[in-house]
């Protein structure tokens, strides 16, 4: 029943200030619920038996050559600094090289207490583990940089949160788990040696094109991290995704989306939309995500400042310039992506206003964001009987005024399409970037509720649909009916 994982463990060679070695805590009855065989193959992981996979990915059996550890990091949580957080319920088994020779972390979540647990039990309920599995793989299929789901194992044990819940261990794969907060942790302790070692590891691991001999290599590192985050958050915005808890310990330097706690995809569009039950002030609302990303990166700049070339004034000026560039990079990525969603091909000056006017109409009419963009491809050509275009989107759009304004907007948009490309080309492009299926809250809740009763068929069906989000899956594409809405999401820790 052995599981072979070709660990290399480069992260564990960093100074011990970066982590604490710790073993997973065994569980009573591990049962494999889901295993990502394609991802496992790319990592060189092999096993012939589900029992062996369940033992390893529950933490009951530590694979040969693993070097388990919990990573140390700080974090600004809702704007307030916590100087010591760290992996309180996660253990990094080690890192491996995938079939593209890229280093990848393999981490257990819910695998027991660590030195950073702070009175927590180190466990995970089944619901949040199922949610993260679905969201990771959905984002990957949507083309968004993200951590990946490798395995989901039930433990046979009970976890106590607001209620008794079945326990689970989720196995996450990432390009790395190095966070903004990881650098903050070392900077707060004035451990420049470890900070420099971590920065060098990050350069070699994620940005090998930056010369290790360059005097400005750490500033170049910061610049690339900022650029990737600007583009990542633009991708979130284009999909109507709300992360929900954009603390600095939840932002990776690899440019991947990480920590799918209270995250959600919007149904009806609202710029101020918040789902997270703990975000009482709306700090991490949909419309605030770009600015919060920039704020978090400013905290990274503070941590790295001593590594930048020149004196302190030079370093501050250089970091400030990069942070100012963030807004332009984000806006360019968003405008380019929105032009694609609208089937317009290349970006033109008028596209931004066209897109902003549309979002205002979607918000005014409480129109389903994902459904609207997916259905928009039908309107690239006016049909012969001059049916109002908004009826091709959704006959149930409320309000005569909204319908009229939307019809006027659709005619403007249609003129842009006809002036710049063919209707066929526009429709083809739009169907390739506007998903038919997203992981809607009510569908995830449905899968979790069934899974907690031991029925994973709903989870498997939803996971299968999310693997091909640009194909039609009518049973999963619709928004929630009255009474099905899920208006609050929870971290589950």
* Nearest alpha-carbon partner for 32 in 121, 150, 148: 150
Handedness of CA 411, 413, 414, 419 (dihedral sign): positive
The answer to whether 169 and 124 are in contact (CB under 8 A) is yes
Task: DSSP for 199-225, please give it.
Answer: HHHHHHHH-TTS-TT-TTHHHHHHHHH
* Nearest alpha-carbon partner for 268 in 360, 369, 358: 369
Which of these is catalytic: 249, 279, 351, 368? Answer: 249
* Nearest alpha-carbon partner for 492 in 243, 123, 182, 31: 123
Beta pairing class for 241-242 and 264-265: antiparallel
Residues 6+ apart with CB under 8 A from 346: 339, 420
Active site residue 313: no
Nearest-angstrom CA–CA distance, 345 and 341: 9
Give 125's strand partners. 167
Q: CB-hemisphere CA count at 13 Å for 421?
A: 21
Q: Which residues are catalytic?
A: 249
């Amino acid at each position: 029943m052995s599981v072979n994982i070709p660990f290399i463990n480069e992260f564990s060679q960093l100074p011990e200030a970066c982590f604490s070695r710790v073993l997973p805590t065994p569980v009573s009855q591990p049962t494999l619920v889901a295993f990502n065989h394609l991802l496992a193959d790319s990592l060189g992981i092999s096993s012939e038996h589900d029992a062996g996979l369940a033992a390893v990915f529950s933490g009951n059996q530590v694979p040969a050559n693993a070097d388990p550890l919990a990573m140390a990091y700080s974090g600004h949580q809702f704007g307030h600094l916590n100087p010591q957080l760290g992996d309180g319920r996660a253990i990094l088994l080690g890192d491996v090289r995938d079939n593209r020779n890229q280093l990848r972390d393999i981490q257990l979540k819910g695998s027991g207490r660590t030195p950073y647990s702070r009175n927590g039990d180190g466990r995970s309920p089944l619901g949040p583990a199922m949610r993260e599995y679905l969201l990771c793989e959905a984002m990957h299929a949507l083309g968004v940089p993200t951590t990946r789901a490798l395995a989901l194992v039930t433990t046979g044990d009970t976890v106590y949160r607001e209620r008794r819940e079945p326990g689970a261990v989720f196995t996450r794969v990432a390009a790395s788990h190095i966070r903004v907060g990881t650098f903050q942790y070392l900077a707060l302790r004035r451990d420049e040696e470890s900070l420099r070692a971590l920065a060098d590891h990050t350069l070699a691991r994620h940005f090998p094109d930056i010369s290790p001999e360059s005097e400005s290599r750490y500033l170049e590192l910061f610049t690339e991290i900022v650029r990737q985050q600007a583009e990542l958050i633009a991708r979130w915005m284009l999909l109507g995704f709300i992360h929900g808890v954009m603390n600095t310990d939840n932002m990776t330097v690899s440019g991947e989306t990480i920590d799918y706690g209270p995250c959600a995809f919007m149904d009806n569009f609202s710029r101020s939309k918040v789902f997270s039950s703990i975000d009482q002030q709306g700090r991490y609302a949909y419309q605030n995500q770009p600015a919060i990303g920039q704020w978090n990166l400013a905290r990274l700049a503070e941590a790295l400042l001593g590594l930048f070339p020149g004196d302190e004034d030079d370093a501050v000026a250089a970091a400030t310039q990069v942070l100012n560039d963030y807004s332009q990079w984000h806006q360019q990525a968003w405008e380019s992506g929105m032009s694609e969603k609208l089937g317009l091909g290349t970006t033109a000056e008028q596209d931004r206003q066209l897109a902003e006017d549309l979002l205002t109409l979607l918000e005014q009419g409480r129109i389903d964001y994902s459904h609207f963009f997916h259905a928009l491809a039908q309107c690239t050509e006016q049909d012969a009987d001059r049916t109002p275009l908004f009826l091709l989107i959704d006959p149930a759009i409320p309000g005569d005024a909204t319908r009229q304004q939307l019809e006027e907007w659709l005619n403007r948009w249609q003129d842009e399409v006809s002036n710049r490309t063919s209707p066929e080309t526009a429709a083809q492009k739009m169907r390739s970037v506007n998903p038919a299926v997203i992981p809607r809250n009510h569908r995830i809740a449905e899968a979790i509720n069934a899974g907690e009763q031991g029925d994973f068929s709903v989870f498997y069906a939803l996971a299968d649909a999310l693997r091909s989000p640009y194909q039609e899956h009518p049973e999963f594409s619709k928004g929630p009916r009255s009474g099905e809405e899920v208006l609050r999401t929870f971290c589950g820790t």
